[in-house]
Structure 1
Amino acid sequence: MLFYKVPAPDQAMLISGGRRQGGAPFRVVTGHGTYVLPIFRKVKFLTLAMCEAEVSETCVTRQAIPLQVKAVIAFKVGNDPESVVNAGQRFLSDQNQMSVLTGRIFAGHLRSIIGSMTVEEIITERQKLAEAVLDTSKAEMVKIGLLVDSLQIQSIDDMGSGYIEAMSAPHKAEIRRQAQVAQAEATRASAMAEQDAERQRAEYARQTAVVQAEYKAQIDKAQAEAAQAGPLAQAQSQRQVLAAQTELAERAAELRQQQLVAEVIKPAQAEAERIKVLAQAEADRMRIQAEAAASNGRVALDRMIIDQLPQIVREAANGLQGANINVLNGADGLGQIAAGLVSQGLTILDSVKQGLGQTVEQSAPGSEVETIRIEDDPRR
């Protein structure tokens, strides 16, 4: 709009020529706009933004040691109408003068405060110095409508006197000593860490070598077992074959031995027993004949022969008692053996009778009977 004026957010609009506010020569408008009649009113704008002032001042300490001190002050016009009026009356025509005047004010207070302090206090207590300067300058800054936000001491120089250098020498030496100790500790720690790492690497290498050796031994063992498995299996098979062949040979020998016993030894034993039985029977016949001839009685002789017949058969049977006879046809075979024994007994009986008959015919009754004595066979 044509006559409507609005200040910027960081500005205060000062309107003169109209009705005054209190004792102020102009009206202050901030944060909103207003109508301004031309010709009858005049408008000026005062900055409310942050401003900066630099101070570089030569100060003398309580010890009479000159110091070059550099500081930076951050300030602005106060937000309240009174501060705006005070600053407007002083700096509205030349607002750059705010920085110049602020620097001069702080330079004076800085010289005054440093003059009451030692170099050691100034160096070690810079914040205390800044707070003291702010406190002493606050009242003056309020009078001109300015508000100080901060004061920073940038540098302190002894102007080549070497005092600060000498003062810092012990600290530097201590710092160097601490740095050397720290460096030595760091070197020692590094060496220890390196040694520990080397030990760990050596231990790892040893464990790796042990594991590799174990693996190699297992592999070699497995390979050796695999290489021996074939010959061992073959030898085992050969042993089994030899054992089977040996068993077969033993069985064949046993079978051959049984065959020899059945085919040769048993028949020979049976034949020998048969001959023995016949010889015994013949001896008994001769004995009976002799006894019959001696008694001159045929009836008695026959009776004696009949009485001896069971004994003859029994003797024949006893002769076969120890023989190992293989019976191949069961009960029929047993019957055949019994019949053979009886037949042998009858044959013996007939032989005895015939022999005795011939003897009786040769000897007349009442004649002298020749006594025949049969000696026992020494082989019996």
Structure 2
Amino acid sequence: MFGYRVPAPDQAMLISGGRRGQGGAPFRVVTGHGKFVLPVLRKTRFLTLSMCEAEVAETCVTKQGIALTVRAVIAFKVGNDTESIVNAGQRFLSDQDQMAVLTGRIFAGHLRSIIGSMTVEEIVTERQKLATEVLETSKTEMAKIGLIVDSLQIQSIDDGETGYIESMSAPYKAAIQRQAQIAWAKANQESAEAQQEATRNQAEYQRKTEVVQAQYNAEVDRAQAQASQAGPLAQAHAQQEVLAAQTELAQRQAELRQQQLVAEVVKPAEAEAERIRVLATAEANRMKIQAEAAASHDRVALERMLIEQLPQIVKEAASGLAGANVNVLNGADGLGEIAAGLVGQGLTILDSVRRNLGNAEGAQPQPPRAAGTGNEVERYDVK
């Protein structure tokens, strides 16, 4: 719209003519909004409120008399309040570039003043302290011209050809070099140790590999040896089994032969011995009876006694043969023959007693016949 003016966000609009501004200023200040301005009667100018930069490169003398060239950068701007805008507008509205020139000169003076009260060591090691002191001392002066400083950065400090700063840094450089050498030596040592460890690991791996290979070769050789011996071992085992079977067969044959010998020799001998014992017992009983009969001269009583004792005699003979091992070939007939022989033996003994009694009446009694004469029990042995 004609006559309506609006300043940019980073500008302040200064309207001159008509009424005076705040504090008797020759213009009114408008920021952040537009305003109608009468043409011809009013005049409008704009003052920047954006950030500006000023560089300083000043040679300063320290407290020790050493000249230092200090380079710094100042970031500043016009204050946002109306008073600052009025102050800056009255000074820089016609030539706003002068703000950077004047700011640089102001800070150069303050740098010389503050550096003159400090040593090189303080300036080098405490740059932030230097910047803070410069800002504090220049704040009031900058406010008078409507400017505020956002930051001050010391870019470089140079002592020219004096070499003071370099000499000052020599111990630190030596210490740094020494630490670097120590670190280098330590790194070399660690590298050598790592290389040695790698060599030992490689040697250990090689040793384990050779051991495993040797074990594998030994197992292969053992398997081959076992395979080559498998045939002879099987044959030897077979022969051993044959010998064991032959040995067992021989033992069984020996046991069988022993049983045959017992049946053929021992048992018959035991039966013969038992037969002789029975006959001897019978003969002894006979002689006892004869003696008792001779003493009593009672033939009837003697015969009765013989008859009563005959079953006992036969029983004794039968019990003697019961424990003997007598083998009978013809079964029941053979057993009958043995029983008849026992009875006949008893009758023979009875007849012998009668004859002896008859002889005793007319003559002296004869001695008894030896056992085994006359009628005897027949022996039946079967193989």
Q: Normalising by structure 2, what TM-score?
A: 0.69
* Alpha-carbon spacing, 1:318–1:111, altered in 2? closer, same or farther (3 Å): closer
1:297 and 1:118 mapped to 2: Cα distance?
178
Give the drift of 1:103.
Answer: 1.0
Partner of 2:99: 98
| Cα contact 2:328–2:335 (8 A) shared by 1 | no
Partner of 2:17: 17
1:98 and 1:56 mapped to 2: Cα distance?
17
Partner of 2:379: none
Q: What aligned pairs does 1:177-256 form with structure 2 within 5 A after superposition?
A: 177-184=178-185, 250=251, 253-254=254-255
Q: What residue ranges of structure 2 are gaps of 5+ in the alignment?
A: 374-383
SS at match of 2:83: helix
2:296 and 2:183 mapped to 1: Cα distance?
154
* Alpha-carbon spacing, 1:109–1:294, altered in 2? closer, same or farther (3 Å): closer
* Alpha-carbon spacing, 1:131–1:302, altered in 2? closer, same or farther (3 Å): closer
**Identical columns (%):** 67
| Cα contact 1:290–1:373 (8 A) shared by 2 | no
Between stretches 305-314 and 112-121, larger displacement belongs to 305-314
2:53 and 2:158 mapped to 1: Cα distance?
22
Give the drift of 1:12.
Answer: 0.8
Say how many residue pairs are matched: 369
- Measured on the aligned residues, the alpha-carbon RMSD in Å equals 5.6
2:359 and 2:21 mapped to 1: Cα distance?
213
1:120 and 1:338 mapped to 2: Cα distance?
150
2:283 and 2:206 mapped to 1: Cα distance?
108
* Alpha-carbon spacing, 1:79–1:237, altered in 2? closer, same or farther (3 Å): farther
| Cα contact 1:77–1:145 (8 A) shared by 2 | yes
Give the drift of 1:346.
Answer: 3.6
State the AA in 1 paired with 2:17: G
SS at match of 1:320: helix
Partner of 2:369: 374
1:158 and 1:365 mapped to 2: Cα distance?
181
* Alpha-carbon spacing, 1:338–1:95, altered in 2? closer, same or farther (3 Å): same
Partner of 1:150: 151
| Cα contact 1:309–1:345 (8 A) shared by 2 | no
Deviation string, structure 1 residues 121-140 (Cα, Å, up to 9, x no partner)? 32233233223322332222
Give the drift of 1:347.
Answer: 1.9
| Cα contact 2:314–2:346 (8 A) shared by 1 | no
In the alignment, structure 1 residue 162 sits paired with structure 2 residue 157? no
* Alpha-carbon spacing, 1:208–1:24, altered in 2? closer, same or farther (3 Å): farther
Give the drift of 1:148.
Answer: 1.1
Partner of 2:381: none
Partner of 1:141: 142
| Cα contact 1:287–1:373 (8 A) shared by 2 | no
| Cα contact 2:56–2:104 (8 A) shared by 1 | yes
Q: What residue ranges of structure 1 are gaps of 5+ in the alignment?
A: 329-334
| Cα contact 2:49–2:78 (8 A) shared by 1 | yes
2:249 and 2:273 mapped to 1: Cα distance?
34
State the AA in 1 paired with 2:3: F
Give the drift of 1:144.
Answer: 1.3
Deviation string, structure 1 residues 66-95 (Cα, Å, up to 9, x no partner)? 222211111100111111011111111221
Partner of 1:331: none
Between stretches 205-214 and 111-120, larger displacement belongs to 205-214
